[in-house]
A and B are shown apart, each in its own frame.
Chain A
Amino acid sequence: MHVLSVRRPRSLRKPLLGAVGLVGFLVVWQLVPTLGLVNSQYLPYVTDVLVRLSEEFGDLAFWRRLGFTMTSWAIGLSVATFAAVVLGTVVGLVPFLRRATHTMVEFLRPIPSVALIPLAVLLFGIQMQAALVIIIYASFWQVFVQVIYGVADVDAVARDTARSFGLTRRERLAYLVLPTALPYLMTGVRLAAAVALILAVTSEMVIGNPGLGRMIELSRSAGDAVGLYALVVVTGLLGLLVNLVFRFVERRSLSWHQSVRGEEVR
């Protein structure tokens, strides 16, 4: 363990092992209903699910539903990010506001967004707006909190330097606050993107506005296990894609930035 051993090139081993894990999982999935451990009505064969998946990919209606989900995701995420950046910057920069809003934020943030679903349905019925309320509420806090941290993180010496050189408020915002807060913002947006997707699908399931989530609920109530599992896989892939893209964006924004923070508790 403590002795440095000569290691084989890791580059090939890692993806190979990963592939083995993936295939192993699929094989186990196939075996469980085949051996009758679980009735294939409840856990369908993986082969059936994969066939259905490929059928869905060729179906225009599927892409339309995916489009609905991603539209509400994109709108919700954009609105939440914009609102959080504006409010977060203002609150973060003004100490009075920061202290005055603290309790409010600490109370509102832990409220599970899904608790607002009944309210959203009352206000907007079975429409995308109802889902947007939930998506925006949930993802807003992710960004908002990070922006406040980021704005507060401006180095005291750098701030004093900027003041002493007589930089205007706008210049300070552009050259000091923004670059410091940007990595935080990117972290917040990455977290918000994942949360927004979760709630986009969830609200479709519960509220019933068109999209992947509603299709999942319909498959369930119709007893279409194969379709249900196929859609779960789709949402997983979608989540994976969102995670990868935003992690990439975040890393890019961190790489040119000087004060790279370590991975710490947030």
Chain B
Amino acid sequence: MTAQTGRIAVRPRGRGVGRRVAEGFLYPLGLPFLLLVVWGMASTASENRFFPGPLTIFEAFGDTWVGPAFVDDVLPSLYRLALGITASIVIGIAAGTLIGLFQWLRELLEPLLEFFRAIPPPVLIPVVMLLLGITDTMKVVVIVSGAVWPILLNTIDGVRATDSVMSETADSFRITWWERLWFLVLPAASPRIMAGVRQGLSVALILMVISEMFASSAGLGYRIAYFQRNYLIAEMWSGILLLGLVGVLLAATFGVVERRVLRWYHGIREVNRA
């Protein structure tokens, strides 16, 4: 790798630019483009109506989602998702910190938490429906009931694993309880917490979709299932595409936040690797 970059520096300019374009565009976009082309050709050639070409899907995407459907179906879904994720993070970190700090509490709750984590989250949808009826609150509660566990358990682990020397340092300087929590315990646990949040996000998205497929007359999940039942194939595909975009957007947002929050953590890892 180093030998390569060295060579580029010596080479005439034009070649270097060409190479940079190749690395900047061809690598990330080449394969997706290629696949789209192959898909397009295959769908024109074949008679299978379940796989419309990418152009048809894009067209359906514009027709379906741009306009009132965005306000009626997409925004409420995203709103519930955001609400559920926020609540999961707040509850997960708060409860996780509390449980992580007190050993007796941890030992008291450990088997229970292990069990709740092991329940496949969508199974809780009928239960929450039974308890709360088919409401918006129910959908948010469903998201929280699944997404909170990875955050909670990772926070417990992170809080528990506070480094002994760091703790002793805090003790020796008589750091107060709140300072200790804010400047030592939570930052030290933050890599684990963020790992938990990452898992929680994907669970939350799944639950958003499923809860709407199950019990709703609006929302992204409902729409996609509706299209399928009515054999609106291109529209269904456009829904899958939209859900994919939501997933990618969620992951990208998380990536940005994570890099900010864990700047020190990635910095250390880089230093160690060098």
Partner of B123, one of A99, A117, A225, A232: A232
Chain A residue with the shortest CB-CB distance to B240: A115
Q: Say yes or no: A21 contacts B112, CB within 8 Å.
A: yes
Chain B residue, CB-CB nearest to A100: B31
Q: Is the CB of B131 within 8 A of A43?
A: yes
A18 to B103 alpha-carbon distance, docked (Å)? 12
Q: Which residues in window 8-39 of A have CB below 8 A to B?
A: 13-14, 17-22, 24-25, 38
Contact yes or no, B112 A205, CB < 8 A: no
| Interface hit among A51-59, A106-114, A177-185 | A106-114
| Proximity string of chain B (137-179) to chain A, C-beta cutoff 8 Å, 1 when within and 0 when not | 0000000000000000000010000000001100100000000
A17 to B225, CA, bound (A): 46
Alpha-carbon distance A204/B242, docked complex (angstroms): 24
> In the complex, what residues of B have CB within 8 A of residue A119's CB?
50, 228, 236-237, 240
Q: Does A260 contact B (CB under 8 A)?
A: no
1/0 per residue A113-151: CB within 8 Å of B? 111111101110000000000000000000000000000
Are A42 and B131 touching (Cβ within 8 A)?
yes
With a CB–CB cut-off of 8 A, which chain B residues contact A25?
112
Classify chain B: how many residues form its interface, as a range: 35 or more
- Taking the complex as formed, is A170 at the interface, i.e. its CB lies under 8 A from any CB of chain B? no
Q: Pick the contact of A103: B31, B110, B228 (CB < 8 A).
A: B31
Q: Which residues of A contact B29 (CB under 8 A)?
A: 103
Interface segment out of the listed B57-65, B85-93, B247-255: B247-255
Q: Are the C-beta atoms of A110 and B131 separated by less than 8 Å? A: no
Closest Cβ neighbor of A241 among chain B residues: B118
Q: Assess the B214–A235 pair: CB atoms within 8 A.
A: no
Contact across chains for A265 and B191 when beta carbons are under 8 A apart: yes
The reply to whether A21 and B110 form a contact with Cβ atoms under 8 Å apart is yes
In the assembled complex, A216 has its CB within 8 A of some CB on chain B:
yes
A236 contacts B116, C-beta separation under 8 Å: yes
Is B35 in contact with A104, judged by CB distance below 8 angstroms? Answer: yes
Q: Are A228 and B130 in contact (CB under 8 A)?
A: yes
Q: Please tell me if the beta carbons of B210 and A114 are within 8 angstroms of each other in the complex.
A: yes
Residue of A nearest to B30 (CB): A100
Closest B residue to A120 by beta carbon equals B228
Nearest A residue to B110 via CB reads A18
Chain A interface, number of residues (Cβ within 8 angstroms): 67
Contact A201 B120 (CB under 8 A): yes
Q: Which residues of A contact B104 (CB under 8 A)?
A: 17
A21: chain B residues within 8 A (beta carbon): 107-112
Instruction: Please measure, in the bound complex, the distance between the C-alpha atom of A100 and the C-alpha atom of B23, giving whole angstroms.
Output: 10
Task: Tell whether, in the assembled complex, residue B122 and residue A201 are in contact, meaning their CB atoms are under 8 Å apart.
Answer: yes
A83 proximal to B (CB < 8 A): no
Q: Which residues of A contact B221 (CB under 8 A)?
A: 114
Note all chain A residues with C-beta closer than 8 A to B247.
110-112
Q: A13-B107, A220-B126 are in contact. Are A118 and B202 (CB under 8 A)?
A: no
Q: A110-B244, A110-B248 are in contact. Are A197 and B28 (CB under 8 A)?
A: no
The answer to whether the Cβ of A162 comes within 8 Å of any Cβ in the partner chain is no
Given known contacts A21-B109, A112-B202, A220-B130, is B118 in contact with A240 (CB within 8 Å)?
yes
Which residues of A are found within 8 Å of B250, using beta-carbon distances? 110
- Chain B residues with Cβ below 8 Å from A13 are 107
Chain A residues 184 to 201 lying within 8 A of chain B, measured CB to CB, are 194, 197-198, 201
Which B residues fall within an 8 A CB radius of A? 23, 27-32, 35, 50, 104, 107-112, 114-127, 129-131, 157, 167-168, 171, 191-192, 194-195, 198, 202, 205-206, 209-210, 213-214, 221, 224-225, 227-228, 233, 236-237, 239-240, 243-244, 247-248, 250-251, 262, 265
17 contacts between A and B (CB under 8 A): A18-B111, A24-B108, A99-B27, A103-B28, A103-B29, A104-B31, A110-B244, A115-B240, A118-B225, A118-B239, A118-B240, A198-B120, A202-B123, A216-B123, A236-B116, A237-B118, A240-B115
Task: List chain A positions with a Cβ less than 8 A from chain B.
Answer: 1-2, 13-14, 17-22, 24-25, 38, 42-43, 99-104, 106-119, 121-123, 194, 197-198, 201-202, 205-206, 213, 216-217, 219-220, 225, 228-229, 231-232, 235-240, 242-243, 263-266
Given contacts A18-B110, A228-B126, A235-B123, 18 further A-B contacts (CB under 8 A): A2-B171, A17-B107, A18-B111, A21-B110, A106-B248, A107-B32, A110-B205, A111-B248, A112-B205, A115-B209, A119-B228, A202-B122, A205-B122, A205-B210, A206-B122, A219-B126, A236-B115, A240-B118
Give me the 7 closest cross-chain CB pairs, A-B, nearest first.
Answer: A239-B118, A118-B228, A110-B247, A220-B126, A115-B243, A111-B244, A236-B119
